[in-house]
Structure 1
Amino acid sequence: GPHLAAVGELLGLDLPVHNQLHLKAAFADTLGVVPRTAPLLIWGDPVELAWSEAERAELDADPGTAWLTAPLPAGVHCRPEGEGSNQQVLVLWDYHPHDPTARTAHFPIPLDDTFFEIALRGMTTMLPGLQAYVERLPRAYLDGGYYTCTPENRPLIGPLSVEGAFVIGALAGYGIMAALAAAELLAAHMTGSLLPNYAAAFHPARYDDPAYRAQLAHWGETGQL
């Protein structure tokens, strides 16, 4: 989890991980724009937010907000939450660049009051009906957490250079999906069982290979949502 780097330091190790803060907003979809039977809806293209001419001019005039008028990353997504008469919809969008040196997790989670409006505006690209909420934003509840990641977004699974120490971590945003297979791989390392052919791809020692480290600068898509 987000304390992986700190735990590594207790062993005298500098694990190649950083923390990314990811936020989500929950609001009541009283207009029923998102069907309750909808799956997870993900927009896979970059998004340019729709601003009026006056809004765009005001945003462009401030260096702190001018980035909102430029194309933003793909990946804005939402899904209905709960069953029955529940109207809650979760909206998520990782539109901020991340600091690869951010290794310390801060609690309580630092929340961004502008997140809901930006994410909602982004989601209107896929679901135009959500535009009805933009002019009068409903109350939203913000929450979030940390994705702990390696530079290429592959987890760390296997023995460490300290005898008797093992690691399973840096599962970023796919921990629930990968947990069972990751634990099975770690157990194989710990018991000396036959390792699958992909074990080296997640072994912490992969960073000892100069050729592998050279690849990191040109890795390309990491699959992070």
Structure 2
Amino acid sequence: ISAQQLGAYLLDRARARGARLLAARVDGVDIKNGAVEAVRLRGDGPERVLTGCFVNAAGPMLRQVGQMLGLELPVFSERHRKLAFEDRLGAIPRDAPMLILADPLDLPWSDEERELLAEDPQTRPLLETLPAGAHCRPEGHGASPWVLALWAYDAAPVPEVFPLPPDEQFPEVVMRGLAQLIPALEPYVARPPRPVVDGGYYTKTRENRPLIGPTAVRGAYLFGALSGYGVMAACGGAELLAAHIAGGPLPEYAAAFDLARYEDPAYRELLESWSDTGQL
């Protein structure tokens, strides 16, 4: 599924029902008597929109927008880059599924490479055992030669900075890792294809469950911390959020995504024993 095409489709559907898209930056949220009164904008269009309903769906900036409401949200962000390359050798069949390396990995460096990597504190961790999760899949339709590859071997909480800071080692590290899973990729280690590197942030909670629902500020709602499953969860999460806003019946699982879950002592105790979050 294409996230861009899905977003364009949903935006068209919303516009057909009267929605307007304003290209602006949210500068603040006015709160009166504990409830949302207006949103202040900077950009094209009005500078202040009177409203009793505000949804914080700011993606990687979820925490910062939450602070505009006086909320400290329990979220953090990890950098997740992705590598696209043309598989001119046909190493990965076009009908291949997503291929995932589920084991931690020690990359095969030469003695000279190990010496060079050890000299720089930024590259020294590449000499250690790297986490599981390198994965790839064919990209595009028909005879497209493109392959999409990902490996968050350096995932850790980081500040949200745009544009994403470069990582010159990323294409080589990903290719070396995937070559351990798919030996046919090995020639690309010595003669790498021209890489196209993109990426962004996975904003998440400690247990990797999203935040969907109301906040302590009346009229202010959350829809975020969708980590690495945003496209998969977006439509279902939006239905849940709409039920919260419209006062409709909520499904049994609604409380599992509500910010208020952190006020439950039993849930906080459960977090202490939480192990696998299922994150690649």
TM-score (norm 2): 0.74
Is the Cα–Cα contact under 8 Å of residues 59 and 68 in structure 1 kept in the other structure?
A: yes
Matched residue, 1:6: 64
Q: 1:95 aligns with which of 153, 158, 168?
A: 153
Matched residue, 1:221: 276
Q: How far 1:31 moved relative to its partner?
A: 0.6
CA–CA distance in 1 between the matches of 2:245 and 2:114?
A: 57
Local SS of the residue matching 2:104: coil
**Is residue 109 of structure 2 the alignment partner of residue 32 of structure 1?**
no
CA–CA distance in 2 between the matches of 1:65 and 1:160?
A: 42
Compute the RMSD of aligned alpha carbons: 1.7
Percent identical among aligned pairs is 55
Provide structure 1 residue ranges, at least 5 long, that are not aligned to the other structure. Answer: none
Q: How far 1:44 moved relative to its partner?
A: 1.2
Matched residue, 1:170: 225
The answer to which structure, 1 or 2, has the higher relative contact order (CA under 8 A, 6+ apart) is 1
Matched residue, 1:19: 77
Matched residue, 1:86: 144
CA–CA distance in 2 between the matches of 1:57 and 1:69?
A: 10
Q: 1:70 aligns with which of 122, 128, 141?
A: 128
Q: 1:160 aligns with which of 212, 215, 229?
A: 215
Provide structure 2 residue ranges, at least 5 long, that are not aligned to the other structure. Answer: 1-58
CA–CA distance in 2 between the matches of 1:182 and 1:170?
A: 11
Is the Cα–Cα contact under 8 Å of residues 111 and 142 in structure 1 kept in the other structure?
A: no
Local SS of the residue matching 1:216: helix
Q: 2:263 aligns with which of 182, 204, 208?
A: 208
CA–CA distance in 2 between the matches of 1:146 and 1:64?
A: 20
Amino acid at match of 1:208: E
CA–CA distance in 1 between the matches of 2:116 and 2:235?
A: 49
CA–CA distance in 1 between the matches of 2:244 and 2:84?
A: 40
CA–CA distance in 2 between the matches of 1:31 and 1:133?
A: 9
CA–CA distance in 1 between the matches of 2:151 and 2:145?
A: 20
Q: 2:179 aligns with which of 111, 124, 132?
A: 124
Amino acid at match of 1:56: R
Is the Cα–Cα contact under 8 Å of residues 60 and 201 in structure 2 kept in the other structure?
A: yes
Q: 2:240 aligns with which of 181, 185, 208?
A: 185
What is the CA deviation profile of residues 122-158 of structure 1, one whole-angstrom value per residue up to 9, with x for unaligned ones?
0011101111111122210110011111111100011
Is the Cα–Cα contact under 8 Å of residues 111 and 143 in structure 1 kept in the other structure?
A: no
CA–CA distance in 2 between the matches of 1:59 and 1:145?
A: 25
Q: How far 1:177 moved relative to its partner?
A: 0.8
1:148 to 1:63, Cα distance in 2 relative to 1, 3 A: closer
**Structure 1 residue ranges, 4+ long, deviating more than 6 angstroms after superposition:** none
What is the CA deviation profile of residues 3-23 of structure 1, one whole-angstrom value per residue up to 9, with x for unaligned ones?
111111111111111111110
What is the CA deviation profile of residues 66-88 of structure 1, one whole-angstrom value per residue up to 9, with x for unaligned ones?
32222211110011111234211
Q: 1:52 aligns with which of 107, 110, 127?
A: 110
Local SS of the residue matching 1:27: strand
Is the Cα–Cα contact under 8 Å of residues 208 and 227 in structure 2 kept in the other structure?
A: yes
Q: 2:197 aligns with which of 142, 147, 153?
A: 142
Matched residue, 2:12: none
Is the Cα–Cα contact under 8 Å of residues 23 and 111 in structure 1 kept in the other structure?
A: no
Q: How far 1:56 moved relative to its partner?
A: 3.5
With 34-43 and 185-194 compared, the bigger mean Cα shift is at 185-194
Higher strand share: 2
Local SS of the residue matching 2:181: coil
The size of the alignment, in residue pairs, is 222
**Is residue 169 of structure 2 the alignment partner of residue 114 of structure 1?**
yes
Amino acid at match of 1:144: G
